[in-house]
Amino acid sequence: MAEEINFIPRKVTNPNDFLDRKSYLCICNLFCDSRAITDEIKYHDKTSNIDGFIQLIDESDYPIGNIFIQAKTYKSKYKGKNKAEIPAYFVAYAMRMRNEVCIFFSVDANENKIYWKYISNDYIRHFNNEGDNIIHTYEFCDNEIVTSKNVATTIDRWKQIFNDKIAQLTKEKKSTEEVMSESRSAFDRINTDFHNLKDSFIDRKEIGMLYQWVKDDLSENESCVKLLVGNAGMGKSVVIRKTIQRLEKDGIKCFAIKADKLQPPVGYTSNEHLELLRNTFSSLNQEKRSVLVIDQIDALSQYINSDRSKLENITALIKLFSDGDKSGNVRIIVSCRSFDLDFDPKLSLLGREPKIKLGLLAKEDVEKVLDRLKVGLYKELGDKTKTVLQTPQHLNLFCRIYAQNKRNDYYSITDLYDELWLQTINLAEVKINKEIAEKILYDLAFKIYDDETLTPQWDYDTSEFNCK
């Protein structure tokens, strides 16, 4: 007779399943006769991040909204201490699913009570400030404990939380739309043609490089941040604007910020402004490719701006979305002057990211622009002037002043500005008092210094000059 083999089936359950079932039944029993429907909470659910949702209803049994929960069994080591460990993944879920009300449950089935914590924006910030811990031990307040005696008042609190969330999102939606519109208008005002020369834009190769980098998938371990670096006057903002236009033509959404115009809305603290910027970019559909663009971040360097909170907000925004992007769909483009990237302590940290360096214009492109002023003009210039005009800002200035005096040779940017002053002030058709003009320019310089921005809002009082 063959030896009998003792096959052993798998266990139907284990101690953890037993605890999960008790917690599930505790939740259902506490809320069975209330204005909270627990049918969508799943026992032993394998769904990532949440265990379902509770539907809140009004007195006429109409739905108000849902709260999404993650439920854990209350640990015996915290007995009598009103504490539980809130996992980082649920906090991260709440941060990403900003349209949802997310509440953590720690269920003590033996005592028939539930400890709960609403994962609010304030709590998310607090959790982040704790560092990179995967859990956070939280001590519950007395009004964050549900028993059979306070079910109704707890549900009323959840309804208020839900209503406050909806009101906040309505305000945020309006605010993010305003932020997007205001930010975009700053880029729309960038002139991509040279002075008084329609359709004279030079299609720089760096536009194509940025465009293709955004379109392509990242290679393994490749950063989602790309720096556009160049000296002052090299045309970084023009390259940024044209890149945005090409991307948006392909349906890729961009949230573009001109750092030199970055101002928090009236009444917003620095943290609230950061939250608004974060929510604005988060409002883009990041299941598809989306781009955060920061132009002229050097305008916030310590050499121009002593208020470091603006730069800290921008760098925090970059870090938040570069570190938090798991989909591979986020791209971040930052333009900066070489000097500030090298010497500003905060900006130098960005210097580790991959760079596209924006150099001088090709001589052939300069010649094409100058031929629009006068055919063959480029060949009349000296070598020093040709080199000076390979910087886009210098070329634009030359186009502005050439028509009046037809002068060919300028050996520096100072020569160009001296000629502009001569034409604008000294030789102006309307007589201008040079002392008044000089005072206004000094006042403008002080305004720029005081406001710590290159583009101050300025309503100048000219009454002291008896202007008519």
pLDDT at 410: 93
Q: 50 and 73 in contact (C-beta within 8 Å)?
A: no
208: three-class secondary structure by DSSP:
helix
344 to 12, 52, 108, 297: CA distances (angstroms) = 63, 48, 53, 11
Which domains are present in the chain?
15-165 (3.40.1350), 190-355 (3.40.50.300), 363-465 (no CATH)
pLDDT at 3: 60
pLDDT at 401: 94
What distance in Å separates the CA atoms of residue 7 and residue 369, rounded to the nearest whole number?
Answer: 87
| DSSP 8-state class, residue 33 | T
Cβ atoms within 10 Å, residue 342 = 12
pLDDT at 24: 86
pLDDT under 50: residue ranges of the chain = 12, 15, 468
Reading the block at residue 391, the tokens are 């910087």
What distance in Å separates the CA atoms of residue 448 and residue 433, rounded to the nearest whole number?
Answer: 23
Name which of 196, 210, 244, 231 is nearest 390 in CA terms: 231
What distance in Å separates the CA atoms of residue 152 and residue 359, rounded to the nearest whole number?
Answer: 67
Reading the block at residue 221, the tokens are 């371990």
Contacts of 319 (CB under 8 A, 6+ apart): none
pLDDT at 204: 96
pLDDT at 23: 87
What distance in Å separates the CA atoms of residue 337 and residue 231, rounded to the nearest whole number?
Answer: 5
pLDDT at 102: 94
| DSSP 8-state class, residue 432 | -
pLDDT at 205: 95
What distance in Å separates the CA atoms of residue 384 and residue 397, rounded to the nearest whole number?
Answer: 16
Residues composing the chain: 468
pLDDT at 177: 73
Reading the block at residue 223, the tokens are 């950063």
For the sheet with 53-57, list strands across it.
36-37, 53-57, 63-73, 101-108, 113-118, 145-146
